[in-house]
Structure 1
Amino acid sequence: MKYKHKGRNNTLTYNVEESIELLPFLLQVMSNRSRNSVKSILTRGQVTIDDHIETKHNYALQPGQTVTVLKNKAAIKESQLIGMTILYEDEDIIVINKEAGLLSIATQKEKRRTAHHQLMEHVQRESSENRIFVVHRLDKDTSGVMMFAKSEKVKRTLQNAWKENVKERTYVALVEGEVKKPKGYISSWLKESSTHMMYSSSTKHDGLHAITHYKVVQSNKSFSLLEVQLETGRKNQIRVHMQDLGHSVVGDKKYGSTGNAIGRLGLHAKVLLFTHPVTGKLLRFEAPVPKSFLTKSK
């Protein structure tokens, strides 16, 4: 069995040439390692498939996919961040590009393998008194631009004037089916059910008002790539509104998706344009659209 392999300083990259589950594939291509060693590489989030972190042993690989493994030495090295890259850092804020599959903040199950925890370790290398504060969140399976504050004061400044500070927040969404209308918007009142599902209420003022604007970037019979701008930032807003539109986000079973052609949620935070909370400068950050979104909607 042949696997094309190319290695960079910190990573090993393999091209998948036949359908196979992830763990058996890794055991084959990394035959010099023990089963336990390969399993721990998976568990630590060192394996990326195309453009998302994957930790499931039985993930079904398809021909044409690319598997990237972060080498152990690089992962153990203190400066190595897993599942994210820093786009900008100063004494007040940090802006990152987060990969799909990485939690923004800790949950009951996962405390350490999060963007917040890694950035906390990152700033504490300079001084143990340094801290990181969450300003906004991206769902675990959403990738893209995300900002953190380095003090409680900066966090409050940003959150208290979020609508005034944030000038543009653009997402791209890969959705199911062909969206016929080239552009439009969805306006509804969002509520949360007892099972933590968000849904649109048909009654005016019954919930939190949410407005989502979209335009079609490219589409085919099966998928559409939309550029989405938020006028409001409600929990799961884009996901609910795409379901309301009749075109659920790819891979979003929770909100009506029927399949998962890209092995991840089809949602990516592409642009964040905001006024710096201390200097007052206008800053713009962009995270490239994942390749799988572009190829599926061509």
Structure 2
Amino acid sequence: MTVSENGTLLPFLLTALSTMGRNKVKSLLTHGQVMVNDQVVTRHDHPLVQGQTVSILAMRKVSSDDLDGVQILFEDDDVLVIDKPAGLLSMGTDTEKEHTAYRILSDYMRMKNPKSRIFIVHRLDRDTSGVMMFAKRESVQQKLQNAWKDVVVERAYLAVVEGRVQQDTGTIISWLKESKTLIMYISRKEGDGQKAITHYEVLHRTGEYSLLKVQLETGRKNQIRVQMQSIGHPVVGDDRYGAIKDPLGRLGLHASVLSFHHPTTDKVMRFETDFPSAFLRVFSYDQKASVTIKS
């Protein structure tokens, strides 16, 4: 579709795709299916200039009921992007090999082609929900992993933490190490361990809890969890790292945004999942409208 006059993206789509409902059009944006001049765009107010081209990417529709709660957000010949539910392992461990995102998606791929395989690119903790990417070829996996820092444009999480975080924004820099019992902890000595950098912004707060948008500059094991504990605001439901309260019945951590350069086309792909409704349980209902996720 060619833009005939200057404006913004959502009104243009609502006019051009008039047979679709407003929610469906907004869903196309949310799931990274809209491209402007060959770049994926998700912002509703993205400015359009006369002469630009707007394209819609196809998206495979697979019911999450068929995949044990896993929702496929995007799939092509190279990558598979999913929304992983909380409580599901990314890949197998010594004690659990069957009920994992990797196994579920492997079975899904083999239903289409017995020779198909998928490959782990990165992981989410079992109790963390949200956006996760798999490769469909080993060469793609290696390309993504070897250049992960350059490939990833943005990784953002939503976190519900204990207590009222006073600073509106902040950056946590620390050095992480792992104990013999596989618990991550912060070294008191600078340079001793893996450097971890986390940026956060308070989106909403009450007397008991705060809702944060968290962006990772580095990606260390349990980084957000151990660093939030270090500033006295552990993630709710995280008794492993100091939490006392469990208002959600799950870990209050959700991988909300993953943006990356496509391994073959180099186009920027951005995926942002819906706000977990369960997180709102810790805030009063009449404050729901004030909880906004800033792009």
Judge same fold: TM > 0.5, yes or no. Answer: yes
Residues 138-157 of structure 1 mapped to structure 2, 5 A cutoff: 138-157=124-143
Q: Does 1:186 align with 2:172?
A: yes
Deviations 1:160-198 (A, max 9, x none): 110101000000100001001100010000000111110
Whichever residue aligns with residue 206 of structure 2, its letter is N
> 1:263 aligns to what?
249
- Given residue 206 of structure 1, which amino acid in structure 2 is its aligned partner? D
Question: Does residue 1:277 correspond to 2:263, yes or no?
Answer: yes
Is this contact kept in 1: 2:237–2:250, CA < 8 A? Answer: yes
- Residues 88 and 246 from structure 1, CA distance in 2 versus in 1: closer, same or farther, beyond 3 angstroms? same
The runs of at least 4 consecutive aligned structure 1 residues that moved more than 3 Å come to: none
Rounded to whole Å, the distance in 2 between the matches of 1:216 and 1:152 is 39
Are 2:64 and 2:71, in contact at CA under 8 Å, matched by a contact in 1? no
Alpha-carbon distance between aligned partners in 2 of 1:249 and 1:90, rounded to the nearest angstrom: 35
Matching residue within 168, 184, 195 for 1:209: 195
Which amino acid letter does the alignment assign opposite residue 168 of structure 2?
A: P
In 2, distance between residues paired with 1:82 and 1:126?
18
Once the 2 structures are TM-superposed, how far is the Cα of residue 112 of structure 1 from its aligned partner? 1.6
1:196–1:286 CA distance, 2 compared to 1 (3 A): same
Equivalence for 1:90: 76
Structure 1 position 286 matched with structure 2 position 272: yes
| Structure 1 match to 2:85 | 99
Distance in 2, matches of 1:258 and 1:79, equals 33
Partner of 2:234: 248
Instruction: Give 3-state SS (helix, strand or coil) of 1:80's partner.
Output: helix
Which segment is superposed worse, 234-243 or 104-113? 104-113
SS of 1:167's equivalent in the other structure is strand
Report if aligned partners of 1:83, 1:102 keep a CA contact under 8 Å in 2.
Answer: no
Matched to 1:181, the amino acid is Q
* CA separation of 1:79 and 1:237: change in aligned 2, threshold 3 A: closer
Q: What residue in structure 2 maps to residue 132 of structure 1? A: 118
What's the counterpart of residue 24 of structure 2? Answer: none
Q: Percent identity?
A: 55
Greater strand proportion: 1
Aligned to 1:35: none
2:156/2:213 contact within 8 Å kept: yes
2:152 to 156, 160, 166: 166
Report deviation, 1:120. 0.5
Aligned to 1:18: none
Using the TM superposition, name which of 119-128 and 81-90 deviates more. Answer: 119-128
Offset, 1:296: 1.3
Please state if 1:111 is matched with 2:94.
no
Distance 2:161 2:153 in 1: 25
8 Å CA contact retained: 1:213, 1:229: yes
Distance apart, 1:148 and its partner CA:
0.2
CA distance in structure 1 between the aligned counterparts of 2:68 and 2:148, rounded to whole angstroms: 28
Residues of 1 paired with 2:126 and 2:65: CA distance? 22
Give unpaired runs (5+ residues) of structure 1: 1-76
In the TM superposition, what is the alpha-carbon distance from 1:83 to its structure 2 partner?
Answer: 2.1
From 204, 228, 231, the equivalent of 1:218 is 204
- Note the aligned Cα RMSD (angstroms): 1.5
Deviation, 1:295, is: 3.7
Work out whether residues 170 and 227 of structure 1, in 8 Å CA contact, stay in contact via their aligned partners in 2. yes
Q: Structure 1 residues 262, 228: closer, same or farther in 2, change over 3 A?
A: same
Larger relative contact order, structure 1 or 2 (CA cutoff 8 Å, min sep 6): 2
Partner of 2:181: 195
TM-score, normalised to structure 1's length? 0.73
Deviation at 1:135, TM superposition (A): 0.3
Secondary structure of 1:168 counterpart: strand
1:294 deviates by 2.7
Task: Return the offset for 1:78.
Answer: 12
Structure 1 distance, partners of 2:190, 2:109, is 45
2:123 alignment partner AA: R
| Shift in CA distance, 78/269, structure 1 to aligned 2, threshold 3 Å | closer
- Per the alignment, do residues 231 and 217 of structure 1 end up closer, same or farther by CA in structure 2, a change over 3 Å counting? same
- Structure 2: stretches of 5+ with no match in the other structure: 1-62, 288-295
For residue 14 of structure 2, what is the aligned residue in structure 1? none
Mapped contact 1:225–1:294 kept (Cα < 8 A): no
Q: Secondary structure at the match of 1:119?
A: helix
Tell me how far apart the structure 2 counterparts of residues 78 and 278 of structure 1 sit (CA, whole Å): 27
